Amino acid sequence: MSQSLYSPLSLESNTIRLLRILPNENEEADINCTLFVYPLHDSGRGTHRYEALSYVWGDADNARPICVNGHRLTVRANLHIALSRLRDPVLERIIWIDAICINQEDLNERGSQVQLMAKVYSKASQVIIWLGEEADNSERALEEIVITAKNSISSSSKILRKAILALLQRSWFRRIWVLQEVAAARHILIMCGLVEIDGHAFCSGLNFWKDSFEAYPKLQSLIRSMIYLMKEANFRPKYAKSSSGNFSLDIRPLSELIDTYYTRESTDDLDKVYALLAMCSDNPTSAGLLPDYTIPWEQLFQQLVQFILCKEIEVIIPQGRKKAKFRSKGCVLGSVNSVDVDVAWNDMQKVEIVFTDAFKYLQSEMGTQTTWNIPMTEKNIQRGDIFCILQGVSKPTIIRLCGDYFSVIMIAATPMDFTLELKSEWYKILRSITTFPRDLLLAWDLGGSRKKFASLESESLRVPVNSNSMIEEDLEMDETQGVEKNIESSEEIRDSLEVKIHIKAEGCSESGRSSEAKENSNINEHSTAEEYSEVEECSYMGENSETGEHLNLDRYSETGSRIWDNAIKLRNVALILKDLGLYDDAEELFLQVMRTRKQLQGIEHPQTLISIADLQSFYREQGHLKETDQLEAMKHLLESAAQVSKEDVVKIASLSSCKAMMLLVERREGHVPIMEEAVKIAAANKDCGLDMMELFSKKSWIQIPITEEIVEAAAGNHYGGYTILKYLLGKSESQIPITEEIVKAAAANNREGNIILKYLFEKGGNQLPVTEEVLKVAAGNEEEDSNIIKLFFEKKGSQLPVTEEILKAAAGNEQNGCHIINLFFEKKGNQLQITEEVLKAAAGNEQNGRHIIKLFFEKKGNQLQITEEMLKVSVGNRGNGYYIIRFLFEERGDHILITEEVLKAALRNKWSGYYIIKFLFKKRGDQVPITENIVKEVVGNKRYGCDVMKFFFEQRGNQFPITEEILKTVAGNEGYPAEDMMSILFERMGDQFPITEKTLKEILELAAKKWEPDFVKRLSTWKLKGCGN
């Protein structure tokens, strides 16, 4: 049939065939057409006088005949219906239809004509979109869209909403070729059944229904990109553009078009690429990417990857698969911090990038441009995705960790909102990167077609839906999540990493989305075991830049050492996690690699030593080994076979990080002497004791000694002591006696004392020794409130002694003293003896002294004696002194005597002494003694001595002792307070207090060394003795 119907077309010229649909008034009559050759030249007169049909071919098994040039030609049912609908009763209709105008059996012609399709649709006077026959209220749906466009408001009718949703599910919206067809169109007419609607009105009306799609993000994604292309049709120029070379719509780079549209449906897999060529802006034809239906998919996919990235990249594509695996050197630039998707039909997303420490300078170079506007992609970009540049590639790639390889999310990212100048500067910065330290195993999956509408189910819509095309792919698994692992311990690590690095929907903000939409969009994306095994086949071949290790796929397959190969890949993942600042996760992988090496190759194998060196270097960079740099022995312990001494181990056990001990144990295995002293130091280590004990417990060759001293050290450990203690006592084969020292250590434990003591009571019963020393320590515990004391009373009852020493410890407890004292009064009442020493302890408590003093007076009242020693402590209390002395005057004002010693103590209080002195003068006035010793204290007080001196002059005038010795002392003091003090004394005493010439000379000599000449000159006028007035 094709030979008789189709005459050959020139493959070099812009020649096409057009179909003339002959008129017939009888709608049931057979369809008659003629096919003729048409030169598609640039006329310079705008569009040509033909239409172009955009439709879906339909089911191949459902076909009907038409007559073309007198020949019987079978077409699929959907096209037959469209032809019947297009046929006019009177006039001929000229139209281009790919299934008829292209000889589909001639692959060469097919490839040549496909190159012209964008031009065909762009030159057409009108592109007709045929959606199919009327069904599911489609006529009402289209009519409502027109009404909505006119009135600018959508209906609230659920029936109309379901009708519109059903219309948008039609297969035309999922077909990949229609993207080019609407992108090229200069005017669009949409037909469905008997209803026709203008394309611009369709887009305008649908825009008011966009809120209805929020619950169906997969459908929303389809329609968004289609409307984005369709709504521009009326604004494209109607004249034909004359240009040499290949015709292009110049929309976006091919890489972005592929990432955005690869899941659209096509009859032939090759069309996943060919349908987008005429839309791209980066001229892939220059690299030989032309429609050619004689080549297999694998060959085209390889050409595609090498065109987007670089020709030198090695690509592996398994037979019959749509996944490319390739290796590349790369440099990690940063990670995605947030993604914001606008629900408007702009087909764009805002991606915020956080650069790694090594590339923080890019943030200042780019100014505020760390948020990119980039096209929507089929694989949703998510928070935690990695932003990197591959060697030899000019644009960044966005990838996602998937086990021990990386899935490509966006193969070449371009900021759409950058100015030409800024974009040029950005690419200049990228070209300046010359070091690519990371080995990346990458997988770019173009498999699957748009079939998943998990949220658009027939039972919820109450309309028939093609379940085969809607539901099937919801059950498919993408490679972005869990993968079957070779090493069981690696499996947990990988799963954990994927949760931490690849943060799901909570990290991505999609403005305007309903909770239902977010739930429906969270479709499981996994990789099958088969897919993972294929990626595993793509092992690193070449030299690892950091280890110098040459890896060969054949070598591993012969030895069956896929675990070995796995360790290599995990190492590279660990290095990338380190780049991203995910240090805990990187450490886990470094450890996994080291242990795998040890198991397979032995501790002294060069690659095992390299993995240990990796970890050592990592710890040093993180500052974990800072202290070890000061230990001479550490320089050799990890790098040589030098003998490890007990003293070395003790020093390492005392460090604030257990990383050095871990390295030592892993490196030297059974040759590390873990003796009692080292275990004791580790058990007491407040920074990493628990980690260190866990490390010891996991090594079968380490026999942990359990002695009273080790248990005591654990009991006193504030961070992890309880866990360590339980482990030690549970592991001990013999009964360890719970001594007074162990109980004291627990009672002093500020964080875990209570829980440790409860455990010790469980183990030792009421025989635990709770002595005066134990209670004294517990009363002074500032973090455990009164819980420990309560526990002791619960277990021991009234037999507990509450001595003066215990009360002193409680009264001095700055955090919990008041609660503990209260508890003692509850339990012992009038038996408590509040001595001078106890009052002094309370008076010196800077946090809660006033409350404890007040409590003592409430309970003991007139029995308490206010002594000079207590007053000295009170006025010297920096935090509570003022409040304590005020309370004491309120209670016993008449019995308080302010002595010289009390005043001196107040003057030495650097925080509140000045206010205490003013208060004392207010209460006692002339009774406050200002002696020469007091004045000496004042002039020596650099903090507020000048204020006190002024206050003294205000209170007593010149009626207090100022001696020549005091003046010389002031002159000898340093700093501004001394100059200010001398100025005060000169102003008040310079002409009233004569001094000897000798004294003045000494003052002036001292002053000349540090004070301004003008001030020294003023001092020289001080009145001298024997000089009259």
The answer to whether the beta carbons of residues 575 and 438 sit under 8 Å apart is yes
Residue pLDDT, tens place only, 490-516: 444 444 455 455 433 333 333 333 333
The pLDDT value recorded for residue 933 is 94
Give the pLDDT of residue 856: 95
DSSP labels, 901-914: HHHHHHHT-TTTHH
| Local confidence band at 541 (pLDDT 50, 70, 90 cut-offs) | very low
Residue 614 dihedral angles phi and psi, to the nearest 5°:
-55, -50
Closest CA relative to residue 677, chosen from 642, 702, 644, 713: 713
pLDDT reported for residue 29: 94
Q: Look at residues 583, 670, 650, 588 and name the one whose alpha carbon lies nearest to residue 620.
A: 583
pLDDT greater at residue 779 or residue 730: 779
Give, in order, the Cα–Cα distances in Å from 198 to each of 49, 191, 481.
Answer: 19, 9, 44
8 A C-beta contact, residue 176 and residue 275: yes
N residues, the chain: 1029
The whole-number pLDDT of residue 550 equals 31
Q: Which of 600-604, 707-711, 959-963 has the lowest mean pLDDT?
A: 600-604
pLDDT at 149 over 60: yes
Is residue 563 very low, low, confident or very high in pLDDT (cuts 50, 70, 90)? Answer: low
Query: What mean pLDDT comes out for the span 396-414?
Result: 91
* DSSP reduced 3-state for 422: helix
How many distinct helices (H) and strands (E) make up the chain?
48, 19
Which tops the pLDDT comparison, 36 or 217? 36
How distant, in Å, are the alpha carbons of 188, 225, 230, 332 from that of 180? 13, 12, 10, 35
The rounded distance, in Å, linking the Cα atoms of 738 and 731 is 15
Task: Give the residue, 527 or 441, on which the prediction is more confident.
Answer: 441
- Domain borders along the chain are 2-244, 319-532, 938-1029
* 8 A C-beta contact, residue 181 and residue 123: no
Q: Is the pLDDT confidence value at 122 over 80?
A: yes
Token pair for 951: 């206050």
Beta bridge partners of 442: 326, 406
Mean local confidence (pLDDT), 85-108: 95
pLDDT at position 557: 37
Closest Cα to residue 711, out of 764, 669, 664? 764
CA angle 617, 620, 626 (to 5 degrees): 155
In order, the DSSP letters of 662-727 are HHHHHHHGGGS---HHHHHHHHH-TTTHHHHHHHHHH-TT------HHHHHHHHT-TTTHHHHHHH
Q: Give pLDDT, residue 785.
A: 84
CB atoms within 10 A of CB 543: 12
Q: CB 231: neighbour CB atoms within 10 A? A: 19
Cβ density class 879-891: b for 16+ within 10 Å, e for less: bbbbbbbbbbbeb
Task: Look up tokens 């075991």; give the residue.
Answer: 529
Mean pLDDT of the chain: 83
Interatomic CA distance for residues 9 and 7, integer angstroms: 7
What is residue 831's DSSP assignment? Answer: G
Locus of tokens 């090493």: 487
Distance CA(1017)–CA(990), nearest Å, equals: 13
What is the distance between the alpha carbons of residues 233 and 178, in angstroms, rounded to a whole number?
Answer: 13
Dist CA 408 CA 958 (whole Å):
88
Rounded to an integer, the average pLDDT of 466-482 is: 32
Strand intervals (E) in 232-344 = 315-316, 323-341
Where does the pLDDT of residue 781 fall: very low under 50, low under 70, confident under 90, or very high at 90 and above? Answer: very high
Name the pairing type of β-strands 195-198 and 397-402. unpaired
- Report pLDDT digits (tens) over 824-866: 999 998 889 999 999 999 999 999 999 999 999 999 988 899 9
Please report, to the nearest 10 degrees, the dihedral formed by the alpha carbons of residues 150, 153, 155, 156 taken in order. 180
State the pLDDT at residue 448: 64
- Non-local (6+) Cβ contacts of 271 within 8 A are 176, 177
How does DSSP classify residue 1011? S
**478-487, 807-816, 870-879: least confident range:** 478-487
DSSP string covering 520-565, please? Answer: HH-------HHHHHHHHHS---EE-TTT--EE-HHHHHHHT-HHHH
Do 384 and 366 meet the contact criterion of CB atoms below 8 Å apart?
no
Q: Is 126 helix (H, G, I), strand (E, B) or coil?
A: strand
User: Quick check: 528 and 477 in contact, CB under 8 A?
Assistant: yes
Q: What number of other Cβ atoms are within 10 A of residue 89's Cβ? A: 9
Question: How is 162-198 classified by DSSP, letter by letter?
Answer: HHHHHHHTSGGGGBSHHHHHHHH-SSEEEEETTEEEE
User: Residue 586 has what pLDDT?
Assistant: 87
pLDDT digits (tens, 9 = 90+) for 264-317: 998 889 999 999 998 988 888 877 888 899 999 999 999 999 999 998 888 998
- The separation between CA 139 and the C-alpha centre of its own chain, rounded to angstroms, equals 49
Name the token pair of 883: 């409040």
Q: How many degrees, rounded to 5, is the angle at CA 553 between CA 548 and CA 556? A: 90
The whole-model pTM stands at 0.65
Q: Which of 545, 568, 334 is nearest to 438 (CA)?
A: 545
**Residue whose tokens read 């000798």:** 998
> 338-352, 404-418, 433-447, 938-952: which range is least confident on average?
338-352
pLDDT at 224 over 90: no
| Secondary element (H or E) of residue 84 | helix 77-86
Range 242-265 average pLDDT: 81
Q: Is the pLDDT of residue 121 over 90?
A: yes
> Per-residue pLDDT tens for 918-927?
999 999 988 9
